[in-house]
Amino acid sequence: MDFSIASILALDGVTNGAVYALLATATVLLFAVTRVIFIPQGEFVAYGALTLAVLQTGQVPGTVWLLLIMAAVAAVVEAVDGLRQRRPVGLVAKGAVLTLAVPLVIATVAMVAAPMNLPLVVQALLTLAIVTPLGGLTYRLAYESLADATVLVLLIVSVGVHFALTGVGLLFFGAEGYRNPSFWDERFNAGPLMLTGQTVIIFLASAALIVLLWLFFERSLYGKALRATAVNRLGARLMGISTVQAGRLSFTMAAFIGALSGLLIGPTTTVFYDSGFLIGLKGFVAAVFGGLASYPMALVGALGVGLLESFGSFWASSFKEVIVFTSILPVLLWRSLRDPHTEED
C-alpha cells in the first residue's frame, strides 16, 4: 500500500463515517431521551432513499400510504384514550384532527406533486416531509404506552418494529434496488484523490446537521427540555416538561436524520428495502463507542468505524463485517473496566 491508496481509502472511510456519525447521533439522542435502543434507525435511511427513487419515476411512493395509515391509527388510539378518560368530546375530536392534519396535507402535496416531475431538490424536500413524521408516529404507536418499561422490553419492541418496517418496505418498494441521481455531478481532482460533488455534499450536510443539533441542544428551549429529560425523567416531569412530547420530538428528529442520511447515500450506492439495517447497525456500533451517551465520542467512533471498514475491506474483503463488528468487543471491555456501574432498572 502506498500513500495514494491509503489516502483514497481514508477519504472513502471518512465519507461513510460521516453518514454513520449522523445515525450514531440519532441513536444516542433516542437512547438518552427515551431509553429506546432504536434498531430500526436504518429503515428510515432506506425509506428516505427509496421514497426519492420512486418520486423520480413519477409515482406516489408507498410511504405516503404508510404515513396516512399510521396517522389514522394514531388518531383512533388517541380518541379512544381520550374518551376512556372522559375528556370532553370536542377536545378529543380536536386532538384527533390535529394528529391527522399534517400527514393529510403532506400526502395531498405528495400525490399532486409526484407526477409533475419536479426538480430533484424539491423532490428531496418532499421526501424529508414524508419520512420525518413517520418517526413520531412510530413512537406513538409502538413505544409511548410502554415508556416506563425496562430497557430490555423497549429493545425487544425495537426488534419487532424493525421487522415490521422492513416487511412494509419490501411491500412498497419491491425486492430490487434503486440508485438515485447525484445532487451535484461535479468532480474535483487533488493528486490521486477524486472528490465527487456528492462526497462534498455528504461532508457539508453532516457537519451542518451536527452544528444545528449542537445549537438546538444548547440554545433552544425544546433542546434544553430534551436534555433535561435525558438527565432525569422524573425531575424533568416535576419541572413541567412533558416526557411524552420529548419522546415524540426525539423520534421525529431521528426519522429526519435517517431520511437525510438516505438522501445522502442514495446517489453513491444501490439501496434495497433491507439495506438500512446494516447501515443503522454500524451507526449503533459507533454510538456504543460513546457509551450511548456522548455525542463527540460517537462522532469519533463513527469515523473510526468508517475507516476500519474501508481499510478492512482492502486487506480482507471477506472479513469486512467481522472486523467492524468485532471491534465493538474491546470497546465494551474498556468501557466496563473504566467506569463499572450497576444496572439502573
Residues in region 206-265 near other proteins by CB under 8 A: 265
Contact 22, 257 (CB under 8 A): yes
Contact 30, 249 (CB under 8 A): no
> Which residue type sits at 123?
Q
Would you count residue 7 as binding other proteins (CB under 8 A)? no
Q: Which residue has the cell 447521533?
A: 25
Would you count residue 313 as binding other proteins (CB under 8 A)? yes
Would you count residue 174 as binding other proteins (CB under 8 A)? yes
- Under rule CB under 8 A, how many of the chain's residues touch other proteins? 34
Would you count residue 200 as binding other proteins (CB under 8 A)? no
Q: Which residue has the cell 450514531?
A: 24
Choice between 34 and 327, CB closer to other proteins: 327
How far, in Å, CA of 198 to CA of 95, rounded? 42
> 21: closest CA among 310, 329, 322, 280?
280
Could you say which of 102, 147, 227, 321 contacts other proteins (CB under 8 A)? 321
Choice between 78 and 309, CB closer to other proteins: 309
Q: CA 205 → CA 15, 186, 212, 257, 336, distances in Å?
A: 11, 17, 10, 11, 34
Could you say which of 139, 272, 284, 289 contacts other proteins (CB under 8 A)? 272
> 16: closest CA among 274, 213, 199?
199
Choice between 42 and 301, CB closer to other proteins: 42
Would you count residue 5 as binding other proteins (CB under 8 A)? yes
Least separation in angstroms between CB 148 and other proteins: 35
| Contacts with other proteins, residue ranges (CB under 8 A) | 5, 8-9, 12, 15-16, 19, 170, 174-179, 194, 265, 268-270, 272, 274-275, 277-279, 310-314, 317-318, 320-321
